[in-house]
Structure 1
Amino acid sequence: MSAPFDTVSILNVPFIKTTNQAFVAQLEQDVLAHQNRFVVTANPEILMYAREHPEYQQVLQQADYITPDGIGVIQGAQILGTPLPERITGYDTLLALLKWGAKQHQRVFLLGAKPAVLKQVVAKLKSTAPNLVIAGALDGYYADETTVVDQIVAAKPDMIFIATGFPKQEFFIAAHRHQVDGLWMGIGGSFDVLAGTVKRAPKFWQKHHIEWLYRLIQEPSRFKRMLVLPRYLHLIKKIAKQSKS
């Protein structure tokens, strides 16, 4: 495929250089053409994990589109002197595709989250997007991957959204995407936000790039994960300095 977007490399991961609007328009076009697409929405945590796990780094290289999900990625691109236009989050992309999918009567398959959360997501979509065809929905607590894949194949979905968290969701997509020509996208904790069990940061926090702080206040258990950010920025600054010298 000839790449529709230029890319910017951060820690050997190629991020698409585009806007939310242009990206969603491209995905819509891909879905209507029944193209097989693998989308990764990556934040600094994913970048650092990929750096330490070569097998995950290889999976990322197989993705068709990697978006800068997280202000840290935008900051990193800036420091390296290769700025990206804006954040493209998994959650916003998911919402845009579900809204568009409803208008187009698209078939979606939802995989991930706790059973109760998934039930709420399905109920919400049935009331807010009645024309969306929910071809299948399975929670993330499955024992047998083969059975899950069989169900996805049988459902003939146009879009498959997987919310089992990284790196699990990306490994799953890389292993099975060839079985259905559709859009495969890992969306982390998006079902929890969609169901309302986890609150998304209000616009003010998003606008001032402190969404991470809001989430930390909501979920103090994330503190250890947040420590990745200063490590990541330190590494980026070091790389930027080396490239200048």
Structure 2
Amino acid sequence: MSKPFATVNVLGLDFINTTNQAFLEQLKKDCQTKNNRFIVTANPEIVLAAKNDLHYALALKTADYITPDGIGIIKGAKILKTPLPERITGFDTLCALLEFASQTKKKIFLLGAKPNVIKQAVENVATNYPGAIICGYHDGYFKDEQAVVNQIKNANPDMVFVALGFPKQEYFIKNHRQVAPALWMGVGGSFDVLAGVAKRAPQFWINLHLEWFYRLLKEPSRFIRMLALPKYLLLVYRKRFLNK
């Protein structure tokens, strides 16, 4: 396909160089014309995972759009003298697409999370986005992957949101996106927020780019994962100075 956006390379991944508004308009066009699209919302953790795993990096390269989800990506691009305009987060994009689905009566399929979480998420989506047609859903604890793929194919959705966590969700989309001409997006832990099981950081924290710190306070067990950020920034600075 012809690329609608220029990209900025940050440690091997090509991030779309655009705004939230322009990106959403493009996704709406893609959805209306039944274009098959693979969307990755990548943070520093995903960038590091791709650097350390060639198989995963190759899977990500098949994506149509990689968005800068995380202030670390924005800061990294700025350090590399190739700035990006703003964060394009997975959760905000998900909510905007659900709103669009509600307005245009698009069919959506939700895959992932625990059984009780996905059921509550589906109920809340049905309540908050009443025009959206939930054509199917399945929790993330399946053993028969092909049965789930067949369920998605038979549902013929316009959008498929996959909350299996990385790298599993990206591999799933790469391997199975051909079964439906839909927007396919990995959404991590977003179903927990939709279900009300987890809370997103208040807007005040988001505005200060401290959403990561809020999540760490709420979930101290994330500390080891958070160590990816300084490691990522060290690699960014190393690349900048090597390129001089």
Secondary structure, in 3 states, of the residue corresponding to 2:221?
Answer: helix
Residue 31 (structure 1) aligned with residue 35 (structure 2): no
- Larger mean CA deviation between 68-77 and 175-184 belongs to 175-184
1:195 positional shift: 1.1
Match of 1:204 in 2: 204
1:180 positional shift: 1.1
2: CA distance between counterparts of 1:178 and 1:123?
28
2: CA distance between counterparts of 1:114 and 1:177?
22
Equivalence map 1:101-140=2 (5 Å): 101-140=101-140
The root-mean-square deviation of aligned C-alpha atoms, in Å, is 0.6
2: CA distance between counterparts of 1:126 and 1:80?
43
Match of 1:80 in 2: 80
2: CA distance between counterparts of 1:200 and 1:186?
17
1:12 positional shift: 1.1
Residue 185 (structure 1) aligned with residue 185 (structure 2): yes
1:131 positional shift: 1.3
1:168 positional shift: 0.1
> Is this contact kept in 1: 2:125–2:194, CA < 8 A?
no
Query: Which residues of structure 1 form unaligned runs of 5+?
Result: none
Residue deviations 1:157-181 (CA, integer Å, cap 9, x gap)? 0000000000000000000111111
Match of 2:21 in 1: 21
AA aligned opposite 1:99:
E
Match of 1:52 in 2: 52
Secondary structure, in 3 states, of the residue corresponding to 1:108?
Answer: strand
1:22 positional shift: 0.6
Secondary structure, in 3 states, of the residue corresponding to 2:235?
Answer: helix
AA aligned opposite 2:25:
A
1:213 positional shift: 0.4
Residue 67 (structure 1) aligned with residue 67 (structure 2): yes
AA aligned opposite 1:157:
P
Q: TM-score w.r.t. structure 1 length? A: 0.99
Count, aligned residues = 244
1:129 positional shift: 1.4
- Larger mean CA deviation between 225-234 and 116-125 belongs to 116-125
Match of 2:144 in 1: 144
Match of 2:243 in 1: 243
1: CA distance between counterparts of 2:190 and 2:125?
13
1: CA distance between counterparts of 2:72 and 2:206?
13
Residue deviations 1:62-115 (CA, integer Å, cap 9, x gap)? 000000000000000000000000000000000000001011000000000111
1:41 positional shift: 0.2
Match of 1:99 in 2: 99
1:125 positional shift: 1.4
AA aligned opposite 2:89:
T
Identity of aligned residues (%): 57
Secondary structure, in 3 states, of the residue corresponding to 2:243?
Answer: helix
1: CA distance between counterparts of 2:128 and 2:211?
26
2: CA distance between counterparts of 1:179 and 1:120?
26
AA aligned opposite 2:236:
I
Residue deviations 1:110-131 (CA, integer Å, cap 9, x gap)? 0001111111111111111111
Residue deviations 1:127-170 (CA, integer Å, cap 9, x gap)? 11111100001000101100000000000100000000000000
2: CA distance between counterparts of 1:82 and 1:143?
43
1: CA distance between counterparts of 2:178 and 2:127?
32
Match of 1:159 in 2: 159
Q: Which runs of 4+ in 1 moved over 3 A?
A: none
